[in-house]
Structure 1
């Protein structure tokens, strides 16, 4: 099974383009925090690709700083760079995207400096969407 679920913040505004056949495709990076141990964290920037209607939704509704959940599959593809070298790239092909904050919250966050890694996991308040309090990652049993 090839299934990826990520929660993070957009590192930049989505870029929407159209193929020659007219299909919309959007690309953006998702900043995802991970624990290194001993209280240290790192942030990975994961390339995300969405197609057709989902790509248009991303282009129209997402901006830098928005917190989202991406569900999709991992794809690794090869291509030949302009210098003739073979390159490989790993990216997540989004099949579902859920907005985890309001557009205003994302715009405010996008105008400010990036948050410290995993800031939301330290909060213990309702998220405004009826999902209850945030749970620190170390308390999740899997």
Structure 2
């Protein structure tokens, strides 16, 4: 009987064990690959978003300067475009309010002198893009006419 026990002793894995182990390894590799791919895509998206968000203050400063220079007199719509670093942007602004300063009080005469409309409030829409990533912003801008 000892000869029979020695002959039936296994020297390796069965085909079923190898198939199950291979399938488990395939699942682990596939899952790891998907996780890595998702992390890489998220990293690229975050990089583009951070790049654009870092340039938005510079873009809004340039837009503010242009609105204050060109938004004089009876102009009520403006637009433009530009490039900052590797990002491009375009914008349009529409005047949403045009007001005067409060009346000026002349104490010695006891009169209130009405002011001319001079101050403008603009609704600005900014579209910035970098490496096929577009981002839209909306904000308000303030300007005034230099000639009262």
TM-score, normalisation: structure 1: 0.24
More helix per residue: 1 or 2? 2
Higher RCO (C-alpha under 8 Å, 6+ residues apart): 1
More strand per residue: 1 or 2? 1
